[in-house]
């Protein structure tokens, strides 16, 4: 487990502890705070990956292609955000809320994949 993952695990543990102490009325604020921290970590990690790719043998061409790193980063962000979104949707609207939340998650992923293909940045074939 790398330093980024350890830091996010600490943040999640702290958020869950705070939720237990503060109660469900602060759940939305705690989830928002955690999502911001995850977003910040993912953006930082992507920036580091892009910087290292630019310094690698491929140079700036690696940045222009996008490719696996961008798809993987987007997938990780989506899955991390899916957890609190699913919990909130299921708590407030039960199964129908969960279906709507996951339809939105799938839609965002589809749109992202379509955007990469349309711009010619998908390197899968």
Query: In whole numbers, what is the pLDDT of the chain averaged over residues?
Result: 79
Unique residue bearing structure tokens 């199964």: 95
For 49-69, what is the mean pLDDT? 61
Q: Quick one: pLDDT at residue 119?
A: 59
Q: Quick one: pLDDT at residue 124?
A: 52
Q: Which of 1-10, 18-27, 40-49, 78-87 has the lowest mean pLDDT?
A: 1-10
Q: In whole angstroms, give the CA distance from residue 64 to residue 57.
A: 14
pLDDT at 64 over 60: no
Q: Quick one: pLDDT at residue 1?
A: 63
Q: What is the pLDDT of residues 19-46, one digit of tens each?
A: 888 888 888 888 888 888 888 888 888 8
Residue 2 — φ and ψ, nearest 5°? Answer: -85, 175
Q: Which residues of 68-89 are buried (b: 16+ CB within 10 A; e: fewer)?
A: ebbbebbeebeebbbebbeebb
pLDDT confidence bin for 59, thresholds 50/70/90 = very low
What is the pTM (predicted TM-score) of this model?
0.45
| Environment class of 34 (CB within 10 Å of its CB; exposed 0-12, middle 13-18, buried 19+) | buried
Q: Quick one: pLDDT at residue 100?
A: 92
């Amino acid at each position: 487990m790398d330093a980024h993952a350890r830091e996010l695990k600490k943040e999640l543990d702290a958020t869950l502890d705070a939720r237990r102490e503060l109660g469900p009325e602060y759940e939305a604020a705690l989830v928002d705070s955690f999502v911001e921290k995850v977003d910040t970590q993912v953006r930082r990690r992507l920036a580091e990956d892009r910087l290292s790719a630019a310094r690698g043998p491929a140079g700036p061409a690696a940045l222009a292609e996008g490719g696996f790193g961008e798809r993987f980063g987007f997938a990780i962000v989506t899955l991390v955000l899916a957890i609190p979104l699913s919990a909130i949707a299921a708590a407030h609207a039960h199964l129908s809320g969960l279906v709507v939340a996951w339809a939105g998650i799938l839609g965002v992923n589809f749109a992202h994949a379509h955007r990469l293909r349309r711009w010619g940045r998908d390197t899968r074939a």
